[in-house]
Amino acid sequence: MDLIIGHVIGHGSSGAVVSTATSISSGEILAVKSADLRRSQALRREEKILSTLNHPNIIGHRGCHVSIEGRRPVFRLVMEYAPGGTLADASSLDEPTIARHARAIVDGLDYLHSRGIVHCDIKGSNVLIKDGEAKIADFGCAKLADDVVAVIGGTPLYMSPEVVRGEEQSFAADVWALGCTVIEMATGGRPPWRPNDASTLAKIAFSGETPEVPEFLSGSARDFIGRCLRVDPRERWTAGKLAGHPFVAAFGFGFGQAKEVTGRTCSPTSVLDRGIWGSAEEGFSEDLSSEPVERIRELCVESFVKEDWECEEGWITVRDCENVRKIGGIKCGDEFREWSFEFCGNFSLQRETGENRGVR
């Protein structure tokens, strides 16, 4: 493929280098992900899925090729360029704009699910804007729904309870993430849960609670989000059913033009910026333990390192429990940090560091 590769603009979740590029033959500006051929398995898997898709609300596949760069073979995935930034780049959006973008994501998900594909990493920074239309991007974590050996993927704070627990990652998990993304649009690009630590992930997995829905949204918007955020995945509406919800029903593809995202803008590949919210909020695809507590440890081990464990502030009470049973711990440097859970209807967390220990 005849391309002039431009400057590097980021790095992908699989380690791919992301650049702009220009087609010599057509002059079209494109986005390119590149990875050493020997370490390009994840990028080639992403290309294989993206190459089968053709939908106005999904970022377009433009091809792939292997080129020689400094005597080493490099695999390149060439994609549509979307200059309007991502949903995560915006301040809080007005409700009609949220509805338009939500409908675009719903339509994209309905198309993906009809083809047996689970995206696994829906969030604002993975939705691009081009000509006012929202487009789902970054298929680095995507998998076929019937792929029983696929590894877990996604961004922890957007994972549904069953995914955090390691039970399943199905179409319903994408719908949960959609609900979180609508909240994100309404609140100005913030993740649906705070903070990004193990207590939050444990809360997602075991408490039965859902993200707080902004009260300033209309009843229709709150109901739409509620249909997405059912704790039981069997009770969540499908993408196809959500397309008929009153909140988004009037905003099918081609209805006017959604507002271009304002604020800081970036290339379409900025959805892969690993520094947007911190380690526990990044998308990834890894082999994780099937044990719930061990999975929580692995999902946010980097965020543990950032904690000030001697500080008396920042404790979060999930639920009180008199008898706490220790079932997990983390070794970080010279410190041993323990998390304890009681799964008898109540739920509590404990952390320990040297002589400082406590239960909240």
Within this chain, do residues 69 and 99 fall inside the same structural domain, yes or no? no
In a domain, 45, yes or no: yes
Looking at the annotation, which residues are catalytic? 121
The total domain count for the chain is 3
Within this chain, do residues 50 and 167 fall inside the same structural domain, yes or no? no
Residues 6+ apart with CB under 8 A from 265: 83, 84, 85, 89
User: ω into residue 195 within 30 of 0, thus cis?
Assistant: yes
pLDDT reported for residue 290: 58
- CB neighbour class for 174 (10 Å; exposed up to 12, middle 13-18, buried from 19): buried
Domain carrying residue 23: 3-80
Within this chain, do residues 279 and 160 fall inside the same structural domain, yes or no? yes
- pLDDT tier for residue 293 given thresholds of 50, 70 and 90: low
pTM: 0.73
In a domain, 153, yes or no: yes
In a domain, 300, yes or no: no
Within this chain, do residues 197 and 280 fall inside the same structural domain, yes or no? yes
CA distances from 41 to 47, 48, 80 (A): 10, 10, 21
- pLDDT tier for residue 69 given thresholds of 50, 70 and 90: confident
For residue 18, give the CATH number of its domain. Answer: 3.30.200.20
Within this chain, do residues 69 and 94 fall inside the same structural domain, yes or no? no
In a domain, 302, yes or no: no
Asked which of 256, 286, 316 is the last residue of a domain, the reply is 286
Within this chain, do residues 117 and 74 fall inside the same structural domain, yes or no? no
Within this chain, do residues 187 and 315 fall inside the same structural domain, yes or no? no
CA–CA separation, 31 vs 79, rounded Å? 5
In a domain, 250, yes or no: yes
Within this chain, do residues 91 and 15 fall inside the same structural domain, yes or no? no
pLDDT in tens, 120-158: 999 998 999 999 999 999 998 999 998 876 777 889 999
In a domain, 323, yes or no: yes
pLDDT in tens, 230-274: 999 999 999 999 999 999 998 865 444 434 344 433 333 333 333
Within this chain, do residues 95 and 115 fall inside the same structural domain, yes or no? yes
Tokens representing 212 are 């707080």
Check pLDDT > 60 for residue 355. no
Within this chain, do residues 176 and 203 fall inside the same structural domain, yes or no? yes
84-112 burial, b if ≥16 CB within 10 A, otherwise e? bbbbbbbebbebebbbbbbbbbbbbbbbb
- How many CB atoms within 10 Å of residue 167? 14
In a domain, 294, yes or no: no
Is 33 one of the annotated binding-site residues? yes
Provide φ and ψ at 63, rounded to 5°. Answer: 135, 180
In a domain, 244, yes or no: yes
